[in-house]
Amino acid sequence: MADWQEITGGITAPRGYRAAGITAGLKPSGLPDLALILSDVEAIAAGVFTTSQVKAACVDYCRQRLQAKHNTRAILCNAGQANAATGSQGWFDALESAMAVAQALNISSDSVLLASTGVIGQRIRIDKLKAEIPQLVAALSDTGSDAAARAIITTDLVTKSIALETTIGDRPVRIGGIAKGSGMIHPNMATMLAFVTCDAAVSPGLWQQMLSRAADRSFNSITVDGDTSTNDSLIALANGQSRTPAIVEMGPEAEKLEAMLTAVCQHLAKAIARDGEGATCLIEVQVTGTHDELSARQIAKTIAGSSLVKSAIFGRDPNWGRIAAAAGRAGIPFEQENLQIKLGNFLLLENGQPLAFDRAAASAYLKGASKGAYLKEDTVLISVSVGNGHGTGKAWGCDLSYDYVKINAEYTT
């Protein structure tokens, strides 16, 4: 049983945080497009970013800032323009954005982190952004999480938010988060932004280690379409306002905090996969029996990312051969005679041998999952075992529908 409970409030649930989201005129649609998250005091910051060689200016900016100092006060996020592949001018736009926020908040510009999302190759509409910064700062509120969550999305159909609370040292500790992402989603980050706030006190190195591990078990374990983006950013702040003793090394309290951080990240990651462009259901792949966790996750991610598996799920076709083929090409050695595959509660393959199963019922299971009739949160569960090892891992994805092609074929037109 989880050692925490879900609470309301999103990124402003932890103590000492405010947030805002407004319409600044950056998106042609006229929808909200500028968000700000502020810690009332200096917060320890950690980040995980895209591994792409083509990176947005905000990614380079954040990496430089976090290498130079671990303390941060604010995160500014614009939607509408990715400010990626925009050359030196895109870099100057990023600097101007940080300076504008810093001046409005009366803080140092190196205490501002940045994120952008939108069309690659388009610079931020910097004049519009700068003109609306005073309005954005004025809108900051300790109930502003929902507004911020709305302002960071692009093709998302829904906002993504979560907050959890546990007890450390007889005092409540909270972690909240918001995220965006729907397409161009694949491990090694994805077209996703996620912002996490925490009111515990954690040493910088340990907070970064916790976040990196949580990212591997969440955002680096989801896939929608096999494409990794230029702007992926996961930024987490810890400001110590819970007034609990500082956590400086691994131990029971650190493990409890990391488990809750991972749960927040996994909730947001699954929400991204569930909201995949054109998707009708979430796919969860559970793999057991490998030598270690990394190997299990690799097999799980390969299955979740298989276009053939995803297409079969959309077609409500219990074609386990596609699952077996994906597991076999994941690059992780295992004996074929040890392979077991289950779809929900339907055992399809055991000891490497196909089994008779009720195909119509299995197809009905897939149809029901698309409507949320069989499993909580519209989830199709694929379970794979490859041996007797202790390694276990999970990955999440979604089905591949006709609408995915339509959405992306017309993305800039």
Q: Compute the 3-state secondary structure of the chain and give helix, strand, coil in percent, each to the nearest 5.
A: 35, 30, 35
CB 412 within 8 A of CB 155: no
Query: What kind and span of H or E run contains 297?
Result: helix 293-305
Residue 241's DSSP bridge partners are none
Catalytic residue (one of 191, 244, 262, 280) = 191
Hey, CA dihedral for 271, 272, 277, 283, is it positive or negative?
negative
d(CA 161, CA 103) in angstroms, rounded, equals 29
d(CA 156, CA 389) in angstroms, rounded, equals 39
CB 327 within 8 A of CB 384: yes
Distances from the Cα of 401 to the Cα of 277, 314, 336, angstroms? 8, 6, 31
Residue 191 annotated to the active site: yes
Residue 358 burial by Cβ neighbours in a 10 Å radius (0-12, 13-18, 19+): exposed
> Which residues carry out catalysis?
191
